[in-house]
Amino acid sequence: MQEFDLIIIGAGPAGITAGIYASRRALKTVIISENIGGQIMATTWIENYPGFSQIKAVELVQRFEDHVRHFGVDIIQEMVVELNETEGGFIVKTTQNEYKSKAVILAFGKSPRTLDVPGEKKYTGKGVSYCATCDAPLFRGMPTAVIGGGNSAFEAAHLLSQISSKVYIIHRSDTFRAFETLVEDVKNKGVEFVMNSEVREIKGDNFVKSIVIENNKTGEKKEIQVNGVFVEIGSEVKTDFIKDLVKLDESKHVIVNEKAETFYPNSDKIRHGLFAAGDLTNVPFKQIVVSAGEGCKAALQAYNYIHGIETKGHVADWSASKK
């Protein structure tokens, strides 16, 4: 089994920044992540990261990856399925291998929320999509439905309205969270709004053919013929596999203190050696720059933990001048 000082789970802004700081502190570090970039890759342009007034998301991610690899950190692209505490550290189990480390930083962010209805899994990639910017062109001339009522749902509907023969927005409430200008724009493009309605089933043969929706006020069910179902109902933290290790809040975010340390479940006792950073934590404002900052804190605190350094008060960190 490969052993490290530090394993970082996740390769978004938090994980990558943690990797950069840990490697510059000479910790034997590895990042394990199914993909690189995290939720940045769900967008096209980034316009609020210092130093870049406008940069393509894919280019920023490439720069992140090049930066962390430049300092010698390997990124193992495997899916983590288990994390267990062991004597002197942790065992990280992926679908292919097991790895051991003295400390772990959880930085695997958020994942698109799923509908959890019959047919959803079966038709993912066969009509069900979580990335309109990726898959929309494949639905040219076909009727499609967007599920959700936020900005991302309306952005998807806007895009699809230029491609699909007919677009529905299916929303469980009677009001939208999206910006009014976006709602107006999409309405003017002929998109049909189906309010107070929830998807109950996705049906088809080899591909999606229809969805069954239910009006949550009247209980009335109806079937709509669509070939594409774009699920845009936000994101969620998938922390179930660590729920017995760390304290989570009611939305399943990992609770951290100001030093990115985690706690035992249902306790205020710090779980030493296990840190968390980025969108999966309870730290407010889910922004790239916030995640990067939190990743930095987690790495510096992991270094202190591994070397038995107790941090008291505010300590200046001058490592940026050393290579």
Question: Which parts of this chain interact with other proteins (CB under 8 A)?
Answer: 35-37, 41-44, 56-58, 61-62, 77-78, 96, 125-127, 129, 131, 133-135, 137-140, 206-207, 228
Nearest Cα to Cα of residue 278 among 5, 11, 4: 11
* Helices 57-70 and 13-24: angle between axes, nearest 10 degrees: 20
Nearest distance in Å: CB 302, other proteins: 26
What are the two backbone dihedrals, phi and then psi, of residue 170, each rounded to the nearest 5 degrees? -105, 120
Nearest distance in Å: CB 40, other proteins: 8
Is the CB of 140 or the CB of 272 nearer to other proteins? 140
CA 162 – CA 165 distance, rounded (Å): 9
Residues 6 or more apart in contact with residue 119 via CB below 8 angstroms: 128, 201, 202, 203, 204, 208
Please answer whether residues 106 and 275 qualify as being in contact, where contact means their C-beta atoms are separated by less than 8 angstroms: yes
Is the CB of 133 or the CB of 215 nearer to other proteins? 133
Is the CB of 79 or the CB of 289 nearer to other proteins? 79
Is the CB of 128 or the CB of 292 nearer to other proteins? 128
Nearest distance in Å: CB 193, other proteins: 24
Nearest distance in Å: CB 57, other proteins: 6
Give the CA dihedral 47, 48, 51, 52, nearest 10 degrees: -10
From first CA to last CA, the distance across the chain in angstroms is 29
Question: How is 41-55 classified by DSSP, letter by letter?
Answer: GG-SEE--BTTBSSE
CA 176 – CA 189 distance, rounded (Å): 17
Nearest distance in Å: CB 280, other proteins: 21
Residues labelled catalytic: 131, 134-135
User: Beta-carbon neighbour count of residue 320 at 10 Å?
Assistant: 8
Is the CB of 17 or the CB of 39 nearer to other proteins? 39
